[in-house]
Chain A
Amino acid sequence: MSSIIPRKMSPAARQFLDKIMALSDALNERMAVKALIEKRQAAKQQLLTMGLPTRKDEDWQYTSIQSLLQQAFSLKHVQEPIELTTAQIQTFLPNFDTIRLVFVDGFFSEQLSGGFDFIPDGLSIEMADADAIQTINLSEKADAFQWMNELMLDQGVTIELDARVSVEAPLHILYIQTQTAEVLSPRLQVRLGQSSQLQLLQQYVCLTEEVTTWVNGISHITVGENAQCKQLVLQQLSQNSFYFNHQHFVQAAASHIETSYIALGALLSRHQSVATQQGDAAETDQDSIVLGRGQQVMDTRTLTQHQALHGHSRQLHKLVLADEARGVFNGMIEVAKGAQKTDGQMDTKSLLLSPKAKVDAKPQLEIYADDVKCSHGCAAGQIDEDQIFYAQARGIRRSDAMQLITQAFLLEPLDKWQTQPEMQAWLTKLIVQKL
Chain B
Amino acid sequence: MLLTVKNLHAQVADEIDKPILKGLNLDIKPGEVHAIMGPNGAGKSTLSSVLAGREDYEITDGTVEFSGDDLLALSPEERARKGVFLAFQYPVEIPGVSNKLFMQTAVNAIREENGLPALDMFDFDRYAQSKIDLLKMPKDLLDRSVNVGFSGGEKKRNDIFQMALLEPKLCILDETDSGLDIDAMKVVANGVNSLRSPDRSFIVVTHYQRLLDYIKPDFVHVLFDGKIIQSGGFELVHALEEKGYDDMIQAHQQLQHNQK
The answer to whether A408 and B95 touch across the interface, beta carbons within 8 angstroms, is yes
The answer to whether B166 and A404 touch across the interface, beta carbons within 8 angstroms, is no
Mark interface residues in B130-142 (1 if CB within 8 Å of A CB, else 0): 0000000000000
Q: Does B85 interact with chain A (Cβ within 8 Å)?
A: yes
Docked CA distance A387–B96 (Å): 12
- Of the stretches B27-35, B98-106, B215-223, the one at the interface is B98-106
Known: A395-B80, A396-B77. A386 touches B92 (CB 8 A): yes
Q: Does A429 interact with chain B (Cβ within 8 Å)?
A: no
Docked CA distance A411–B146 (Å): 16
Mark interface residues in B76-105 (1 if CB within 8 Å of A CB, else 0): 110111000110100111111100011101
Which residues in chain A, 374-396, are within 8 Å of chain B measured between CB atoms? 384, 386-387, 389-396
Q: How far is the CB of A404 from chain B (nearest CB, A)?
A: 6
B contact residues around A395 at 8 Å (CB): 77, 80-81, 106, 109-110, 113, 166
Q: Does B53 interact with chain A (Cβ within 8 Å)?
A: yes
The answer to whether A390 and B92 touch across the interface, beta carbons within 8 angstroms, is yes
Contact of B53 among A391, A392, A405 (CB under 8 A): A392
Q: Does A19 interact with chain B (Cβ within 8 Å)?
A: no
Which residues in chain A, 346-399, are within 8 Å of chain B measured between CB atoms? 384, 386-387, 389-398
Known: A390-B92, A404-B102. A397 touches B97 (CB 8 A): no
Contact of A394 among B75, B96, B162 (CB under 8 A): B162
Q: Does A400 interact with chain B (Cβ within 8 Å)?
A: yes
B contact residues around A389 at 8 Å (CB): 54-55, 76, 92
Q: Does A409 interact with chain B (Cβ within 8 Å)?
A: yes
Q: How far is the CB of B91 from chain A (nearest CB, A)?
A: 7
Docked CA distance A305–B105 (Å): 45
Known: A392-B76, A393-B76, A395-B166. A405 touches B105 (CB 8 A): no
- Name A's interface SS: helix
Q: Does A412 interact with chain B (Cβ within 8 Å)?
A: yes
Known: A393-B86, A395-B109. A408 touches B77 (CB 8 A): no
- Residue among A387, A389, A393, A395 with most chain B CB within 10 A: A395
Q: Does B52 interact with chain A (Cβ within 8 Å)?
A: yes
Contact of B77 among A384, A398, A405 (CB under 8 A): A398
B residues at A contact (CB < 8 Å): 52-55, 75-77, 79-81, 85-86, 88, 91-97, 101-103, 105-106, 109-110, 113, 145-146, 162, 166
A residues at B contact (CB < 8 Å): 384, 386-387, 389-398, 400, 404-405, 407-409, 411-412
List 28 A-B residue pairs with CB atoms under 8 Å apart, sorted by A's residue number. Answer: A384-B92, A387-B93, A390-B91, A391-B94, A391-B105, A392-B77, A392-B80, A393-B52, A393-B53, A393-B79, A393-B85, A393-B86, A393-B88, A394-B109, A395-B80, A395-B109, A395-B166, A396-B102, A396-B106, A397-B109, A404-B102, A404-B105, A405-B94, A405-B97, A408-B95, A408-B145, A409-B95, A412-B96
